Amino acid sequence: MNEKKMVGKRSVLFSRPPIIIGAGSVAGEKEGNGAFGKCFDMVEEDPLFGGKTWEEAESKMQQLATRIALRKAGLEPQEIRYLVAGDLLGQLIATSFGIMNFNIPMFGVYGACSTMGESLAIGAMLVDGEFADYVVALTSSHFASAEKQFRYPLAYGSQRPYSATWTVTGSGAVVLASSRAKWKRKETGYVEVTGITTGTITDYGIKDSMNMGACMAPAACDAILHNFKDMGIGPDYYDCIVTGDLGTIGQRILIDMLRGYGYDIEKQHFDCGTEIYYNKEQGTNAGGSGCGCSAITLCGYILQKMQKKEWKRVLFVPTGALLSTVSFNEGNSIPGIAHAVMLEGISGSGKGGGRMDYVTAFLIGGAICAIVQVIMDNTKLLPGRIMVGLVCAGAILSFFGLYEPFADWAKSGASVPLIGFGHLLFKGVKEAVDKQGFIGTFYGGLESAAVGISGALIMGYLASLVFKSKMK
């Protein structure tokens, strides 16, 4: 296949979006008493999870989360092609000992607290690339094991500044499935991974390990900004833009940074770290952090919201601070990284998830083309005028808020004809006008339509000035 999947500088759009068919979330007692406690599959009061060490407890969480996700997907471990997982501990020991007995081929990954985004992204690429029909993406963190490795022994009783966050005890796992696989529907709705934007390492010279939000906010800004630019969209494209664990301070920094680039995400933004606890009542200061923070919020809360169709499109952006005890003790700064994963709710149908989407797109797109052909055969309208009419129709539908409901139903059948181009132009102009005022009218449509199409429009206009038009 020669499908173009690379978009912009660092993004990918999947031609066969992987589908999340199962998710498992396991949380500790403190997390169970937080804002999303009722959403988690399992809340365990014993912080050791029946083990003898904190590390053993974290491994146990990964086992439980994986089993829950597999059960929901109706699969056995031997049906999983790959497992992509990681944690915060040295040499990924929570993962190594946690999933060892599943005997699943494994890719161990480390992105600090962004690991859920990294594992999802890599897993989705494996599925879309036809290297696997089923992949499990998994991560975890544990308050006590993280404190033991990165901060102070619990018995020390160190005081935390307001900027500090509380490492979440939890593990989240998802099962990614190919639309080609013979899986059966078990729910009323599914979520697919439509695309990703891979983050780069950012370093603003911050050395305060008790202010992780400030370290990670620039990385989140970088990933979100490039997702907007690569995809030619704005904040309004998403119902919710989710960051992993910026906390109350990092959240404010992120919003202000993106405003500096002309994007206001405040009404769409949701930070897992800020929301997972009742911070004042539970004494968690700036909020939650750790790999498990975004993982259990995704598996226990976000996916449920999307399955219930309360959110249609979500940009999931887990954030990570790339420090170690060695780098910190040597006086190095704390770089950050974030990965953006595009999620979209689908209704699904029967085996193979969204196969009916292709049929719908074919029928609707074909019907539009047939209508155009009838007009061309039975009227004196020239093709150019008909094409302009289709573009205008897309813009008009967008103006009245009708295009996106139509596109949700018709899929690519709405976007492939020139109606989709009209929608794109209108959206670009609207966003540019909102940001820059009247001047946005002149560049918004060209900017949203990408360089190639914009060039065609400009050159077409110049050609019309030089050559005499035959259209009457």
Contact criterion met (CB below 8 Å) for 288 and 280:
no
Whether residue 133 has pLDDT greater than 70: yes
Read off the tokens for 227.
Answer: 């997702």
The domain ranges of the chain are 6-346, 356-466
CATH number of 6-346: 3.40.47.40
- CA-to-CA distance for 80 and 105, rounded, in angstroms? 8
- What is the per-residue pLDDT for 409? 61
The answer to whether 13 and 5 have CB atoms below 8 angstroms apart is: yes
10 Å CB burial of residue 425 (0-12, 13-18, 19+) is buried
For 30-66, the pLDDT digits (tens) are 999 999 999 999 999 999 999 999 999 999 999 999 9
Residues above pLDDT 70, as percent of the chain: 79
Query: How far is it, in rounded angstroms, from Cα 381 to Cα 185?
Result: 47
| C-alpha separations of 374 from 367, 371, 380 in Å | 11, 5, 11
pLDDT band at 460 (very low <50, low <70, confident <90, very high): low
Per-residue pLDDT, 351: 41
Which ranges constitute the DSSP H helices of 325-411? 325-329, 355-378, 383-399, 403-410
Per-residue exposure over 284-294, b if at least 16 CB sit within 10 Å of its own CB, e if not: bbbbbbbbbbb
Closest by CA position to 70, among listed 48, 102, 94? 102
Cα 426 from Cα 236, distance rounded (Å): 13
Separation of alpha carbons 83 and 139, rounded Å = 11
pLDDT at 354: 43
Backbone angles phi, psi at 18, to 5 degrees: -65, 150
Of the ranges 25-34, 200-209, 405-414, which one carries the lowest mean pLDDT score? 405-414
User: What pLDDT does residue 350 have?
Assistant: 38
Of residues 453 and 26, more confidence is placed in: 26
Do residues 141 and 87 make contact, with C-beta atoms less than 8 angstroms apart?
A: yes
* pLDDT of 199: 96
pLDDT, tens digit (0-9, with 9 covering 90-100), for 156-204: 556 666 788 899 999 999 999 998 777 655 555 789 999 999 999 999 9
| pLDDT of the residue at 181 | 79
Sign of the CA dihedral 354, 359, 363, 366? positive
CA atoms lying within 13 Å on the CB side of residue 282: 21
Tokens found for residue 446: 């060209």
Least confident piece of the model among 104-118, 174-188, 236-250, 405-419: 405-419
- pLDDT value, residue 356: 46
- 359 token code pair: 């049929």
| Selected residue with higher pLDDT from 81 and 466 | 81
* CA-based nearest residue to 65, from 128, 125, 111, 119: 119
**Contact criterion met (CB below 8 Å) for 424 and 393:** no
State the pLDDT confidence band at 1, using cuts at 50, 70 and 90.
very low
Structure tokens at 232: 């030619």
Does 146 score more than 60 pLDDT? yes
